[in-house]
Chain A
Amino acid sequence: MSEVEETIKRIQSHKGVLGIIVVNSEGIPIRTSLDNSTTVQYAGLIHQLTMKARSTVRDIDPQNDLTFLRLRSKKHEIMVAPDKEYLLIVIQNPSE
């Protein structure tokens, strides 16, 4: 198995991790460990949020760019690693 697959499996089996989603640049999930409806929901919403966040960062300084986004809520934490071609989303419940 490639390193990428192994790392994804490890993250998935990490303590408290609810799911991992890879979304392409249009907001369509291409790999997920959650069920369909949740995935679609997360993919669409997080994609928009990431675009907005990136736009904000770059508006302030066009040479800057967004590297990581963490969204902590009461129940869990959503971590997003954006890239030009995809988005990597991990949802974790850290207090488990």
Chain B
Amino acid sequence: MTDDKDVLRDVWFGRIPTCFTLYQDEITEREAEPYYLLLPRISYLTLVTDKVKKHFQKVMRQEEVSEIWFEYEGTPLKWHYPIGLLFDLHASNTALPWSITVHFKNFPEKDLLHCHSKDVIEAHFMACIKEADALKHKSQVINEMQKKDHKQLWMGLQNDKFEQFWAINRKLMEYPPEDSGFRYIPFRIYQATTERPFIQKLFRPVASGGQLHTLGDLLKDVCPSAISPEDGEQKTQVMIHGIEPMLETPIQWLSEHMSYPDNFLHISIVPRPTD
């Protein structure tokens, strides 16, 4: 059991060394130095980059600054996806640090949601938690909680407080003793090569005969191309929090231990590096 709790901590404290560079066409009064930061995998870009914004605003004229947005190799980064998901999906097998370009102009209205305040991030985060509980418990656990419990989940994330967060989140990870797991598993599968942003379907963690479904069972059911070997070789990696869990892992265990704070399993299918 100690091992399982360690997984929770390892997931929470995962970091990605990142180098932020100002977009060259932004108008500055002096040269902008790059800014280095360790980003928490489990958080959101707009929640943890106040220092980045301040750093670049120092060399810019006030009128040149509007809503900040981030881009990696030409792709606008969706702030509403957790940072670890963005990295795994777009840059998992590239050299560190992760190089992100910072913009203050020409907000890509067709690609990115606006994020005018921390309230927007909180609303999005809580909406994900509620949807996850709708799947796991028909919303019973989240609806029984008081407003202050909801607030504690958000404050735990915002202030990087593992114990504060899990004091409440553990209730969202419980299930009735007569069941073997949640009603449905909250998950999303992402693949950068498809037009569709993600796949999300209803999936039960336990089969009718009582056997626990595995990660492999989930993929076979909703995304078979991810694991069917072409020419006997596995061309893709199935990645969660930067690692490839064994396909035999019970999906119920993955949901309890490797979900993001929003209670979803965000799974990336990425090309396997050929070296």
Q: Judge: A and B partners, yes or no.
A: no
